[in-house]
Amino acid sequence: MHINPIMQFMNELFARKVWSDPAAVAASTGLSVRNPGEGGAEESDSEISRISFTQKYNCILAQRRIQQKEHKRNKARRHKEMMEIEKFRRSIQNLIRK
């Protein structure tokens, strides 16, 4: 059985065992950074996923709170501007009537 040389090369390339540890592992819940040099018990993938999900969730909540505060400030600013415009409009109308 003759194997295509390209397929043989790809098989040799990808069939090898990984010789290094990844610096980070991407998960559906976000990026999970591992530091293999630190001592202590190794965390399982589920713990890392849970931690990264919690961090992502907390970050989203913080961003949402900031957006809500900014929305309230902008709403108050727009209201104040509209009241000033209305006041100016009334004063112009009063000058026209006189």
C-alpha distance from residue 19 to each of 15, 34, 41, 42 (Å): 12, 17, 22, 19
Question: What pLDDT score does 40 carry?
Answer: 45
Looking at residue 72, its amino acid is K
**What phi and psi values does residue 41 have, to the nearest 5 degrees?**
-70, 145
- Given a cut of 50, the residues of the chain with pLDDT beneath it are 38-41
Question: What pLDDT score does 21 carry?
Answer: 66
- Please tell me the pTM assigned to this model: 0.42
| Residue boundaries of the structural domains of the chain | 5-97
